[in-house]
Amino acid sequence: MKANGLWATVVARLIVTPTIEVLGRVGADFGDDDGLMAGIGVGFNLTKSFKLRFEYVQRENTDSIQLNLVFQP
pLDDT band at 1 (very low <50, low <70, confident <90, very high): low
- Cα distance between residue 22 and residue 13, in whole Å: 6
Among 1-10, 32-41, 54-63, whose mean pLDDT is lowest? 1-10
Residue 69: per-residue pLDDT: 96
Distance of CA 17 to the CA centre of its chain: 19
Q: d(Cα 73, Cα 65) in Å, to the nearest integer?
A: 26
Distances from the Cα of 60 to the Cα of 29, 53, 55, angstroms: 9, 22, 17
pLDDT digits (tens, 9 = 90+) for 16-41: 999 999 999 999 988 777 889 999 99
Q: What's the pLDDT band for 65 if we cut at 50, 70, 90?
A: very high
Whether 28 and 7 have beta carbons less than 8 Å apart is answered as yes
